[in-house]
Structure 1
């Protein structure tokens, strides 16, 4: 059975996971996480499902076209497990220690659909359970240092990282930036060797949406695609790197002054970090308290600046040059 490495953790799965590259050499020790696809734990049964459904621990405010919450979550077995169910019927059960994951889906959904959840919010939640603070950010390596692009969905995090990839820089992570604090210094763990891009971004970067394959080939409407970072001379940064800077992607400007970088006040920086932590909607009070302390340390030790891209995507190469030059001034 395949073994993988993602976000600094080793994973064992009972079937191949789309998007991950299997390790060539078998693990010499037990994996950090065991993933069972198309399976549920032995204690799970319909009667338990019905009884737990009345006690949702979390219900998302966002709803689908039918008015159903995008995500609901429950705590099971006196809090020993979490159940997360998406509106399309995909569901996961995760143990509190972040060591085991079970996943189930319904037709016409496929393993590829489920993997988009698994490699994003589910592993993001597991990282949080295991004590890692994660930012909603994509990252690249510049001179053996990590640089993160922070922002909400649609801000251009993955697009910016892809522009760096086109310029020959290694990509460190996409959408989920897992942080580790060692001897007073923050490091960013490597994610996995893919960048996910909407067709609009693919057109801006490559000229044609068909330049990159769909993440889910059979999905009729979801047109997100991926850049494979182990093909065509692209580079994936497979080791953790010290974090040298964070850029919060802000409003795109049409004016000739863009792209530009602006300093952020400490207050604005802290608010931005708090708003852009990953899966913060699933945190307990204790996890939230710990996160707040870590973000305070992060703000004191790593420069956080606001980045205004040019609205015209043809200026992405200039954006890459600006950030690389700015990081040099921080050396």
Structure 2
């Protein structure tokens, strides 16, 4: 059977694995630059403690760190105990499945933690943010897990802003411009969000049996964009606290974020922030970047500094409730329509100043 070929975060992924998650087909003739292989193993390999890069604070029901990382001569291993090991090396991800009954977890892990890790190891920033398209540019929305990101992104896609990425936004910087790569055409929505933005459930599968969110083809909500686009703005979502006066457009505020705070907010919104901070000396995959010798953490820090220099980061404060979304949309469109000069407050900051300020913020958060 010929392999499947998809475009995923700018990579042409070739695999024999048949995804249930909606994927973007690769154009004919494009050479693959990433392979994914799934194999089933009877017993997971044993790793020496000295090879451990990190162990997540979150535990599984057996008391083990639910995500672990190991550095071996043949590559980096991301382990999900009792589920699977993912071996990462340049151009290849190999999944060793421990329990065949948990094969549904392969896509959950691969398209979440594993792909975010591969992006970071490849020299990109993987932000926990959704991205939509406005005027041939990407607009990002970052928030904590309960910060309203899914509702904001879904509502904008429903209103005609094509989806670029739902949960992980992959950013890279070239010649002073920051670009966002497209993800895959799936949206993770709660039943309430599906009812609001799709209208019927249509037997959408659960993303994970333990989670309430459903896997929804993004085309059921609105249009999907499958290109890499320059980033116009990154919005940090902040919904009004309970008891705060609610209102319409007058209650929507968009405020610029100072360079140092913008930097640390991007650090906080890295998809794997705790895991990445746990191994500062890990090298980038392939040594393809001039910053590879600095180690992953240092390289990522400098990339985020370049992003804050080149892209306005703003705080978007708005009332909680579906009825206020039209006013929020109008405020976003009005803000994006402003001349670029008004949004360039962070662009001329010296990188050393940004990094020093961010280091102080990072220390304060620990």
Provide the TM-score with structure 2 as the length reference: 0.78
Q: Decide whether aligned partners of structure 1 residues 36 and 226 sit closer, same or farther in structure 2, where only a CA change above 3 A counts.
A: same
Which residue of 2 is the match for residue 181 of structure 1? Answer: 173
Q: Distance in 2 between matches of 1:9 and 1:25?
A: 12
SS at match of 2:20: coil
Instruction: Tell whether 2:305 aligns with 1:292.
Output: no
Residue number among 310, 324, 327 corresponding to 2:319 in the alignment: 310
| Pair 184,266 (structure 1): closer, same or farther in 2 beyond 3 Å | closer
Taking only aligned residues, the RMSD between alpha carbons, in angstroms, comes to: 2.5
**1:277-319 C-alpha deviation (Å, 9 max, x unpaired):** 2223443421111111111121121111111232112222222
Aligned with 2:331: secondary structure? helix
- How far is the alpha carbon of 1:224 from its aligned partner? 1.4
User: What is the aligned residue count?
Assistant: 317
1:70 aligns with 66
Task: Work out which of the residue numbers 8, 11, 14 in structure 1 matches 2:10.
Answer: 8
**d(CA) in 2 for partners of 1:205, 1:312:** 14
Structure 1 runs (4+) deviating above 6 angstroms are none
Matches of 2:77 and 2:271, distance apart in 1: 18
Name 1:33's counterpart in structure 2.
Answer: 34
Look up the SS of the partner of 2:161 in the other structure.
Answer: coil
Point out where structure 1 has 5 or more consecutive residues left out of the alignment: none
If the length of structure 1 is used for normalisation, what is the TM-score?
A: 0.86
Of 132, 137, 152 in structure 2, the residue corresponding to residue 140 of structure 1 is 132
C-alpha deviation, 1:125, in angstroms:
0.9
Q: Which residue of 1 aligns with 2:287?
A: none
CA distance in structure 2 between the partners assigned to 1:12 and 1:138 by the alignment: 25
Q: How far 1:135 moved relative to its partner?
A: 1.4
- 263-272 or 277-286, which deviates more: 277-286
Indicate yes or no: 2:250 matched with 1:242: no
**8 Å CA contact 1:190, 1:240 repeated in 2:** yes
Task: Give the CA deviation at 1:8.
Answer: 0.6
Quick one: distance in 1 between partners of 2:318 and 2:327? 9
Is the 8 Å Cα contact of residues 98 and 130 (structure 1) preserved in structure 2? no
The alpha-carbon deviation at position 122 of structure 1 amounts to 0.9
Q: 1:116-164: CA deviations, max 9, x gaps? A: 2111111111111211122111100001111000122222222211111
> Do residues 276 (structure 1) and 269 (structure 2) align?
yes
**Which residue of structure 1 lines up, in the alignment, with residue 151 of structure 2?**
159
Distance 2:91 2:124 in 1: 11
Matches within 5 A, 1:121-136: 121-136=113-128
| Contact 1:33–1:101, Cα closer than 8 Å, also in 2 | no
Q: Which residue of the partner structure matches residue 50 of structure 1?
A: 46
Matches within 5 A, 1:181-200: 181-200=173-192
Question: SS of the counterpart of 1:329?
Answer: coil
Aligned to 2:79: 85
* Whole-angstrom CA distance in 2 between matches of 1:186 and 1:312: 32
* Distance of aligned partners of 1:116 and 1:129 in 2 relative to their CA distance in 1, 3 Å threshold: same
CA–CA distance in structure 1, aligned partners of residues 226 and 331 of structure 2: 25
> Which residue of 2 is the match for residue 168 of structure 1?
160
Contact 2:54 2:275 in 1 (8 A): yes
Secondary structure of the 1:213 match is coil
Change (3 A) 1:65 1:250: farther
Any conservation in 1 of the 2:22–2:217 contact (CA below 8 Å)? no
Mean Cα deviation higher: 284-293 or 222-231: 222-231
Residues 278 and 259 of structure 1: is their aligned pair in 2 closer, same or farther, counting only changes over 3 Å?
same
Question: What corresponds to 2:252 in structure 1?
Answer: 259
Matched, 1:213 2:204: yes
Q: What is the CA distance between 1:189 and its match in structure 2?
A: 0.5
User: Alpha-carbon deviation of 1:22?
Assistant: 5.8
Partners of 1:173 and 1:299 lie apart in 2 by 20
Map Cα deviations across residues 159-212 of structure 1 (whole Å, 9 max, x no partner).
Answer: 21111111011010011111122222111011111111233433554566x367
